[in-house]
Structure 1
Amino acid sequence: MISENYQLQLQKVGKKIDQLVREQSDFEKLIMEITADKNERAILMLVKKIGVLHQNQSLAKIGLKQEQIIELLYKYLGSSHVDEIYENFKSISNFSLEQLLTQLYELIGLENVKQQVHDLMDYNKIQYLREKKGLKRSNKTLHMAFLGNPGTAKTTVARIIGKMYKQIGLLSKGHFIEASRTDLIAEYQGQTAIKVKRLIQRAKGGVLFIDEAYSITENENSDSYGKECLTELTKALEDYRDDLVVIVTGYPDLMDQFFQSNPGLKSRFNTFIHFNDYTLEELLQIFQYTCEKNDYIAEKHALEKVKEVLSSQLKEKDEQFANGRYVRNLFDDITLNQSKRILQKGVEQITKETLMLITEEDVVVYLNATISN
C-alpha cells in the first residue's frame, strides 16, 4: 500500500514536469517504465534528466526540488537498489582488459586465484573469437564457485571478472548484483520462484554473486522454500548461460553439501576457485595498504605491535576469522585510539603529520582493551 502511494506520487510528479517544462521531457513515460518493471535504463535516465533540470533551474520554476524526486524514487524502489544501479553504472567502465588485469594483480596475495582468472580470461577470449569466426564454441558455462573463508577478496575478484567479461564481449552489461538467502527466499509458498526470477532478470548481462550460497539449503529436510529457490536457480543457470554469470561462494565443506543438494547443480559450474587464507605477512601488507589508502602512516614500532596482534589471531583463528575484514576492523579500532590520543594533547598542537601518524601507543591501547575483554 505504501509502495503504491509512492508510485502514484512519482507519476504525478512526472506528469507535472511534462506539462510545465517546455522541452519534451518524457518524465511520465520514464516513470511508467520504472513502475512497470523497475527498468534500470529508465531509472538512470530519470536521474540524469532530473540533474539537467536542476542545473537549468527548471525544477525551481515549477515548485519542485531535485531532492524531493530522488527521495520519492528511493522510497518507492528502496535506496539500496537505486544506489546499486548507480554504482554499477559508474563502475562498468571504460577500463581496458589490461587495466582490469592490473587491478587484479595489485590485490595482495591470492597468487593461485590471479593465475586461474588470467587463464580463464585467455580461454574465454579465444572461445569468443572462435564464435565470431563461425567456429564452434566450447559448451562450458561461465558460472563459477568461489570456495574459501570470509574476508579473502572473493567479492572484489567477482566484480573484476564481471568487467573483464564485458570487455571481451561475453557479457552485455558487466554489472554486479550481490545476493544472499534473504534476496532469494520469499515468506510465502509459491513466491520464492517469482523472487528468484526477478533477481535473475536484474542480473542478466552481468554477474549474480550469491554469498554463503549453502544457506539456501541449510535446512534441507524441512525447508521447501530453499528447494523451490534451488530448482528455479538451477533452471536459470542453463537458460541464461549465454549472458549471465552466477558466482556462488562459501566455506568449502558447506559448499560441497550445497552442490549435493540438487542433482545436476554442480555440472552447471565449470570453474571452482579456492581462496586461501592470508598469511601473516599478507595481512600486515593489507594493514599497511589500508593506512596508505586512508592517508595514515604507521610508525615502525606500531607495525611491530600490529604484527603481534595478527600473529595471535592467526594462531587462535576459527571459522569465524574474517581475514582481510578483520584487518579493516583492526584499522578502525586503532585509528579511533589515535583520535582520542591526539585530542588529549589539545587542538593547538595538531599538525598534518600528527593526524597521519599511528603510534605504538595506539596499538597498545587496542591490545589492552582486547585483553581486558
Structure 2
Amino acid sequence: MDKYSQLLINNASKLDAITDACGEITKLATVIVEENSKVATIALLKKISEVVDNQKYKIEVKHAARMVNSSLIEFYGYSTIQGICKPTSEVDEDTRTLQDLLDELNALVGLEKVKNKVQDLIIYQKVQSMRREKNLHSVKNTLHLAFTGNPGTGKTTVARIVGRIYKQIGLLSKGHFVEVSRTDLIAGYQGQTALKVKKVIEQAKGGVLFIDEAYSITENDQSDSYGRECLTELTKALEDYREDLVVIVAGYTEPMNKFFESNPGLKSRFNTFIEFEDYSVNELDKILISTCKNNDYTLDNEVKEKIHLYFELQTASKDETFANGRLVRNLYDDLVMNHARRVINITDPVYEELSTITAEDFSFMIDEIEGS
C-alpha cells in the first residue's frame, strides 16, 4: 500500500475513533483505496461535511475531519498520476516474496494457533502441488476457510496475507482481496440478489472473497428469502470456482457455529476452521507498544504500568463483544490526541516531549483504574 493510501486510512481511523463512527469512516476510506469507489468517496465527503458543520464537535475533531479531506485529495492526486504513468496492462504491484509474507504473518502479535494452522495449510498445499507435477494422486480439497472469534483479533489481516501466500505458491492467479458484508451481497428486491452475488464473485475470482459476519446473511432465515437466495448463489460459486477462488467467512464463534449447523451444504464446502482467540494482557501491551513505535511515539514506564492495569480490567470484565486490537487502536488514538493537547502548551518542545506519552496523557482512565 502506498503512503497516500495509508495516510487516508490512518486519518479516517482517527476521525472514526473520536466521533464514535463505529468503523464506518474507516470502511469508506478502505473501499476508496481498494476500489476507487465514487459512491464511497461521496459518502466520505458527506461525513466530513457533517463533522465540520456540526457545532457539537470541538475544534480538534473538526481538524481531524479536515485532515481526512486533505489526505483524500492527496490520494486521488497520486492515483491519477499513477494512472497516467502506468502501462495499460495491469501489473501486480505486490513484490513481496513467500518468505516476506510468512515473516509478516509471524510478526503479528500472538495468534500462535492461527499461525501454525496457516503454516500447515501452506505445507499441505505445496506438497499436493509437487505431487501433481510428478503425476501422483493428490486431493483437491477446497481452499475455503472459516475464521471464528471476537472482533479485533486479526481475522481480516490474516485473510489478506493468506490470499497473497496462495498467489505465491500458485493456488490463486491474482491473490487480490475483496471484503464484503450482507449489504454488499443482498439486494432490496426479489431476483436481484443473485445478480449482486454473481458480480461480487466475478470481482473476487483469482483472489480472496472475505465475508465478515457471514451469519448475518441468514440470521432471519425463516422469513428472509433474500438471504436464502444469496446463500444458494454463494454455495454454487464455492463449488464452481473452487480452482481459483478462496472464500473466507468470518464472525463471532457462536453465531458462526449456528450458521454452519443450519446449512450443512454450505459447511461441506469448507475444509478448514480456524478459531482466533482473544489477546492476553501482555499481547495487548505489545500491540500498543508496537503501534507507538511505528508512529514514532514511546510510552514512559509509569504510563506503561497504568495501561497494563487498564488492560487487566478490560480483559477481566470482557464479554463476547470484547474489542481486542480495536481496543488498543482506540486507546492509541486517545493517547495521541491527549498528548497533542498537552504538548501544544509547551513553548518550543524538545524531541522527547514531542515523542513521549506520559501518565498525564492517560489521565482520562486513571481514576477508573485506581477506583477499582
TM-score bin (small chain):
0.7 to 0.9
Matches within 5 A, 1:1-373: 79=41, 93-345=94-346, 348-368=347-367
Distance 2:304 2:324 in 1: 17
Distance 2:367 2:159 in 1: 38
2:274 aligns to what SS in structure 1?
Answer: strand
Contact 1:131 1:137 in 2 (8 A): yes
Q: What is the RMSD of the two structures over their aligned residues, measured on CA atoms?
A: 2.7
1:370, CA displacement in angstroms?
9.3
- TM-score under structure 1 normalisation? 0.74
Q: Structure 1 pair 167/309, CA: closer, same or farther in 2 (3 Å)?
A: same
Contact 1:337 1:366 in 2 (8 A): no
What letter matches 2:227 in structure 1?
A: G
Q: Structure 1 pair 172/79, CA: closer, same or farther in 2 (3 Å)?
A: farther
2:250 aligns to what SS in structure 1?
Answer: strand
Distance 1:226 1:267 in 2: 19
What letter matches 1:234 in structure 2?
A: T
Contact 2:144 2:272 in 1 (8 A): yes
What letter matches 1:351 in structure 2?
A: V
What letter matches 2:150 in structure 1?
A: N
1:368, CA displacement in angstroms?
4.3
1:92, CA displacement in angstroms?
5.7
Gaps of 5+ in 2: 1-31, 43-74, 83-89
Distance 1:364 1:90 in 2: 49
1:75, CA displacement in angstroms?
7.0
- TM-score under structure 2 normalisation? 0.75
Cα deviation 1:4-25 (Å, max 9, x = unaligned): xxxxxxxxxxxxxxxxxxxxxx
1:116, CA displacement in angstroms?
0.8
Displaced runs of 4 or more, over 6 A: 369-372
Distance 2:179 2:214 in 1: 11
1:91, CA displacement in angstroms?
7.9
Distance 1:240 1:97 in 2: 24
Q: Structure 1 pair 75/135, CA: closer, same or farther in 2 (3 Å)?
A: closer
What letter matches 1:98 in structure 2?
A: Q
Contact 1:207 1:244 in 2 (8 A): yes
Distance 1:241 1:291 in 2: 41
2:247 aligns to what SS in structure 1?
Answer: strand
Contact 2:153 2:279 in 1 (8 A): yes
1:74, CA displacement in angstroms?
5.5
Cα deviation 1:166-193 (Å, max 9, x = unaligned): 0000000000001101111101111000
Cα deviation 1:232-290 (Å, max 9, x = unaligned): 00000000000000000011110111112323110100001111000000001011011
1:319, CA displacement in angstroms?
1.6
Contact 2:309 2:369 in 1 (8 A): no
Distance 1:79 1:138 in 2: 44
Distance 2:339 2:132 in 1: 57
Q: Structure 1 pair 104/181, CA: closer, same or farther in 2 (3 Å)?
A: same
Gaps of 5+ in 1: 1-69
Structure 1 window deviating more from structure 2 (350-359 vs 241-250): it is: 350-359
Contact 1:216 1:226 in 2 (8 A): yes
What letter matches 2:358 in structure 1?
A: T
Cα deviation 1:214-243 (Å, max 9, x = unaligned): 110111111110000000000000000000
Cα deviation 1:130-154 (Å, max 9, x = unaligned): 2233333213100000011100001
1:317, CA displacement in angstroms?
1.1
Distance 2:163 2:222 in 1: 35
What letter matches 1:336 in structure 2?
A: M
Distance 1:371 1:236 in 2: 55
Distance 2:38 2:343 in 1: 44
